[in-house]
Amino acid sequence: MNDSAGTPVLHARELQKWYGQGAGMVRAVDGVDLAVDAGETVAIMGPSGCGKSTLLHLLGGLDRPSAGQVLLNGRRIDDLGEKALARVRRTGISFVFQSFHLMEELTAVENVELPALLAGRSPRAARRRAEALLERLGLAGRSRSLPSTLSGGQRQRVAVARALSNEPSVVLADEPTGNLDSAATLDVLRLFEELHESGQTLVIVTHDARIAATADRMFTMRDGTLVDETRLTGGTTGRLGALVGLED
Ligand code: ADP
């Protein structure tokens, strides 16, 4: 969670990422400023190749910026050494990917408990939390199942449970419904709504306007920059709507 009131959970300052050199240089991320507050859901949309995944990877410490800074709860993470950065990725930030990235040889519960074990929790505590998360996400009966025996929507639920394993400050999701049929998309959409309502800070890259509509703020990305910001007052949680109502 956020240590001090008013400090964004996640803060990108003048973030840049270049690939290649000279005439062939690609400015994948070209000066992004973004502050995400505790409990906020931010959605980022935009055409393929505009830099969304690169931005998410920079925000989550999976990749290092060419220039600019990334702060998690007010502390810079872009200049950390590999070991410290790995610790941040294990405990402070977690990812949900389009293709789930589950370990196929591990059961659902083993996948979910893995980050907690890697972070040094006792096997008992890790298992208890993993079982509780799977139950919360409607998968109690499938905890001993291998990923290959689960539907796409169920796999993504396991991936979300795994992402929540260490109670991260922020969950970053990269096209979380990109590989799902429409029924499973609705299932995952509801799951993100629930996470939002529970106060989880979320950044979601998506092509799906229904997913983006669950956010408090939505950005459009073009050519490496965030060009448009929309505040969604009719968000599914109704929280912003309620705030507007209070001000009347
Ligand atoms: P999006 O997620 O919006 O589809 P990406 O972040 O994947 O966009 O890519 C943004 C731009 O950066 C694209 O032009 C892409 O080709 C380029 N790019 C991404 N990763 C690399 C890389 N590792 N090496 C070179 N160019 C890259």
What residue owns the CA closest to ligand 1's atom 6?
Answer: 51
Ligand 1 pocket, 48 CB below 6 A? yes
Q: Which domain holds residue 206?
A: 29-86+202-243
For residue 13, give the H/E element and its range. Answer: strand 10-19
| Residues pairing with 95 in the sheet | 172
Number of domains in the chain: 1
Residue 55 inside a domain? The answer is yes
Task: With respect to residue 169, please indicate whether it lies within any of the assigned structural domains.
Answer: no
For residue 240, name the pLDDT band (cuts at 50, 70, 90): very low
CA atoms within 13 A on the CB side of 167: 8
Q: Is the CB of 43 under 6 A from ligand 1?
A: no
Q: Please work out whether the CB of residue 53 comes within 6 Å of at least one atom of ligand 1.
A: yes
* Residue 52: CATH number of its domain: 3.40.50.300
Cα distances from 132 to residues 78, 113, 129, in angstroms, run 33, 11, 5
Strand-pair category, 217-222 with 75-76: unpaired
- The answer to whether 222 touches 46, Cβ cutoff 8 Å, is yes
Residue 172 maps to a domain: no
d(CA 108, CA 146): 6
**Ligand 1 lined by 225 (C-beta under 6 Å):** no
pLDDT tens per residue across span 50-92:
999 999 999 999 999 999 999 999 999 999 999 999 999 888 9
Tokens standing for 166? 């260490």
Residue 207 included in any domain = yes
Q: Does 50 sit in the ligand 1 pocket, CB within 6 Å? A: yes
Q: Which of 91-95, 110-114, 243-247 has the lowest mean pLDDT?
A: 243-247
Q: Is 192 part of any domain?
A: no
The pTM (predicted TM-score) of the whole model is 0.90
Nearest-atom index, ligand 1, CA of 56: 6
Starting at the edge strand found earlier in the chain, the sheet holding 225-231 runs 93-97, 170-174, 201-205, 41-45, 217-222, 225-231
Confidence of residue 107 (pLDDT cuts 50, 70, 90): very high
Q: Quick check: is 37 in a domain?
A: yes
Residue 93 located in a structural domain: no
Q: CA-CA distance, 7 to 73, in Å (whole number)? A: 6
53 CA distance to ligand 1 middle (Å)? 7
Judge whether 236 lies within some domain.
Answer: yes
Distance 236 CA to ligand 1 centre (A): 31
pLDDT at 4: 53
3-state secondary structure 110-141: HHHHHHHHHCCCCHHHHHHHHHHHHHHCCCHH
